[in-house]
Amino acid sequence: MLVKKRDLVKQLQTIAKTAGVELTFVREGGNHEIWALAGQRLVIPRHRDINERTAHGIIKKAKEVTGDGN
């Protein structure tokens, strides 16, 4: 199953807002975008559709960084 990149970014913004931190775009690479969340970097593929497992891993890392942990 695939996840839309815009939906993934919206989820990350919600996680950041809930934790009281900011999600900021850092730069674009060849195949990935680099985002910063609470001083940690998140690497997001530059594709319209992202594999569900990859998206889950990115969300999991975001929750660990913000201390949500669920």
Q: What does the pLDDT look like over 5-58, one tens digit per residue?
A: 999 999 999 999 999 999 999 999 889 999 999 999 999 999 999 999 999 999
70, part of any domain: no
Which residues are CB-neighbours of 5 under 8 A, at least 6 positions away? 44, 45, 47, 48, 49, 50
Please name every residue paired with 32 in a beta bridge, in sequence order, or none if there are none. Answer: 45
pTM of the model: 0.90
Q: Which domain holds residue 21?
A: 2-65
CATH of the domain at 10: 3.30.920
pLDDT value of position 19: 93
Q: How many structural domains are present in the chain?
A: 1
Rounded to whole angstroms, the Cα distance separating 48 from 13 reads: 18
